[in-house]
A and B are shown apart, each in its own frame.
Chain A
Amino acid sequence: MPVTNVLIAGVGGQGAVLASELLALAAMAAGKDVKQGEFHGVAQRGGAVFSHVRFGDRVHAPMARRGDVDFLLALEKLEALRYAHFVKPGGTVIVNDHKVEPIRVGDQRPYPDDAIEFLKGKGFNVLAVQATEKAVELGNHRTANVVLLGTLAESLDIPLEVWEATLRERIPERLLSLNQRAFAAGRGLSGA
């Protein structure tokens, strides 16, 4: 089985690392060799955070090569642009249709509001998902990460019962039901 490469990107505090941990655990439980490498900087919040999850028969490097990523899961639009060069030609970009303005540094260009169109123009298979909107509707904006994971899950070869068990194992009891609903909602948004 060839290695599947997923890159999850977001802004510190959005839960990119948790989403990638859940994916890595699910892939492992599905019997695959997995490497998950996360990249984050100094402060707890606000900076760019990303994580590679790679699974297959045998995985060596903790990060995929540029142009080798099958699925980019972006919790924010600007972060989708930041890592799009990792995606293979015709690869899938699942992007939260949500904007987090970076702090302004000097005379900065305006936030690129055409991110989704730009990515489509590059030939990627772009799936824009209202994940934050859905998460707020479910009761907590912080579960946008799990909504998006649900959308991604529809495209991966990991059985639903493995996902369900992984959520039960990793998510604290008091937040489980909320996250289960977020995951189910995300699956419904895949358009599949």
Chain B
Amino acid sequence: MSGNEAIARGAWEAGVAFAAGYPGTPSTEVLENLAKYKEIHAQWSTNEKVAFDEGVGAALGGARTLVTMKHVGLNVAADPFMVVPYAGTNAGFVVLVADDPGMYSSQNEQDSRYFAKIAKVPLLEPGDAAEAREMIRAAFELSERFETPVMFRTTTRLAHTRGAVETAERQEAARKPFSRKASQYAIPVYARFRRPELEKKLEALREFAESFEGNFVEEGDPKIGVVTHGIPYQYVKEVAPQATVFKLGIIYPLPERRLKEFCARFDTVFVVEESEGFIQGEMAGFGILNVVGKERFTNIGELSADLVAAGLNGTSVPADLSEDVAILPRPPVLCAGCAHRGVFSTLKKLGVLVTGDIGCYTLGCLPPFDAMHTTFCMGASIGNATGFNKAGEDQVVAVIGDSTFLHAGLPSLVSAAYNKVPTTTILLDNGTTGMTGHQEHPGTGHDLKGSPSPAVEYETLIRSLGVQHVEVVDPWDLDATEKAIKSGLAHPGPAVIIARRHCQLLPEEKAKEHTSYTVVPEECVLCEECFETGCPALVWEDDYPHIRQWECVGCAMCARLCPADAIVLASEA
């Protein structure tokens, strides 16, 4: 089982009844796996804050609840995350947050452990899939015992590593009735009274941390002491099996007395932690100063057994072979037939300023398109475009995907419509959440469990905001796409172009019979114009462009760009 599957399994065993989240690598598979259990109502929510609010309601209402998100999702849910601890919870409420050290699939490298400290909630972190399954149960028990949300932190490596996991049967958790006490749950009015309670709870949690079973010491060489956590624990065991190791399971609050006792036994203790020096900083606050941590173990990127060995021994990591041979980079590319290609090819041609958003289409900023000039976070494109317009740019296009639009783009479009901003927004409607692996969303017509759902009608929705110029176009049709973007830009008010074609990797698209194109070598003038598509089906072979038939889905974009008409339907070649 992967770490994510193990967490889902453990949560099911712990009697979770409700689970909500928004897709985000590396957290996505937790909710996808929870959805397989009939006892759990699992759902995709429009964004992480919505999921969190729904989770709070379910937990107060008496159902054990898990909400899932990636680190940047917690930023979106930060508002309730900081306030709800003032109230606490009724049934167990666990917030799974997956960090992405190394930024394999993220826009930043944020160490979310600090959020637990700001919100004053306990934070647990497992070290492998087997431990994750057990620890998620402990998280629910902790949540109910102290009536607090519990943050459960994972990382990409934990989430995507498979290992052997034991399983047990589900234990139903009886629904705990909600008592209507406004003095506890209506926070703005009663916050002043709840504030000291929060400190009392934290004090009790500190005491709990001293005896928590998830913290343990493995005795070894009395001269080598290591404090570590999570995945880095595995690296330490790998490269220094002889060391005496204090493995932390609760990262906030830390067991101060136990750490002091442990560190007093050694001249120097290594603190091996990934990302920032959170544990090291807390320990410094306790007055534990005989430690070596971030001085030896970088806070940039993901740690590895090699980096941990180098840090412990003061050595360096062996280099790769790029000095000896051309190891070309292999950046990700838009798939063959990807609907985004037509949009970016057109935007490049028009030369307009493009504000982008989060999704596969962020690749529009790379060659051969170079047609996206800013990208920050979910939903930012439309607001950024408004700002550029106010600063004096008159030809600005915002590009945003369907799932991202519903997640956080909609409020910005409402603002743009309300303020009559003459920018053009291109809504890339590919009928799925593409980048995270095809999750359903409110626009797809299905829910997480696969049942039919109402699908958002974008045209109606957007017109209802007061946007008068709304046009739907097929991005495989380059002429129509260009015409639509131009007329959007010419419109004196806000305009929305919906570029609609399904992701070519969706199973129903893959199952279709595709026509494919081929290059006629005798006609080819070797101008390489076709490579301007950046299509992975096009390769250079035997001194002329060649289209791999199994990849081509017949979008015809390369044929459209070929000035020599050398690219024709394979059936007619």
Contacting chain B: which of A60-68, A152-160, A179-187? A60-68
B325 touches A36 (CB 8 A): no
Q: Is the CB of B331 within 8 A of A47?
A: yes
Q: Verify if A78 is at the interface (C-beta below 8 Å from B).
A: yes
Interface size on A, residues (CB 8 A): 52
Q: B residues within 8 A CB of A36?
A: 161-163
Task: Tell me the complex Cα distance, A62–B319, Å.
Answer: 20
**Which of A37, A38, A110 is the one whose CB lies under 8 Å from B326?**
A110
> Which residues of chain A (21-44) have a CB below 8 Å from chain B?
21, 24, 28, 33-44
A42 touching B105 in the complex, CB below 8 Å, given contacts A105-B329, A105-B367: yes
User: A8 → chain B, closest Cβ, in Å?
Assistant: 13
Set of chain B residues within 8 Å of A81, measured between Cβ atoms: 321, 325, 327
Contact A45 B162 (CB under 8 A): no
Q: How many angstroms between the C-alpha atoms of A141 and B330 in the bound complex?
A: 21
List residues of chain B with CB within 8 A of the CB of A61. Answer: 234-235, 237-238, 304-305
Q: When the two chains form their complex, are residues B160 and A37 in contact, meaning their CB atoms are under 8 A apart? A: yes
Q: With contacts A42-B105, A43-B435 known, is A104 near B531, CB below 8 A?
A: yes
Interface size class of B (residues with CB under 8 A): 35 or more
CB distance from A116 to the nearest CB of B (A): 12
**Most A CB within 10 A of own CB, among B324, B534, B539:** B324
Residues of B contacting A: mostly: loop
Residue of A nearest to B534 (CB): A103
**Please, which residues of chain A bring their CB within 8 A of the CB of B162?**
21, 24, 34-37
**Given contact pairs A21-B162, A35-B161, A41 touches B324 in the complex (Cβ within 8 A):** no
Per-position 1/0 for B98-121, Cβ under 8 A of A: 000000110000000000000000
Query: In the complex, which of the residues B104, B330, B366, B531 has the most CB atoms of chain A within 10 Å of its own CB atom?
Result: B330
Are B161 and A102 in contact, with the CB atoms below 8 A?
no
With contact pairs A41-B105, A43-B435 given, residues A103 and B367 touching in the complex (Cβ less than 8 Å): yes
A28 contacts B305, C-beta separation under 8 Å = no
What are the 4 closest A-B residue pairs judged by CB atoms, nearest first?
A: A47-B332, A46-B333, A43-B332, A62-B161
Other A-B pairs beyond A42-B435, A44-B437, A118-B325, 6, CB < 8 Å: A11-B330, A35-B161, A36-B161, A40-B105, A78-B327, A78-B328
User: What are 15 residue pairs bridging A and B, where the CB atoms are less than 8 Å apart in the complex?
Assistant: A21-B162, A35-B234, A36-B163, A38-B160, A40-B104, A42-B104, A42-B435, A43-B363, A43-B435, A45-B333, A78-B330, A101-B539, A103-B367, A103-B534, A118-B324
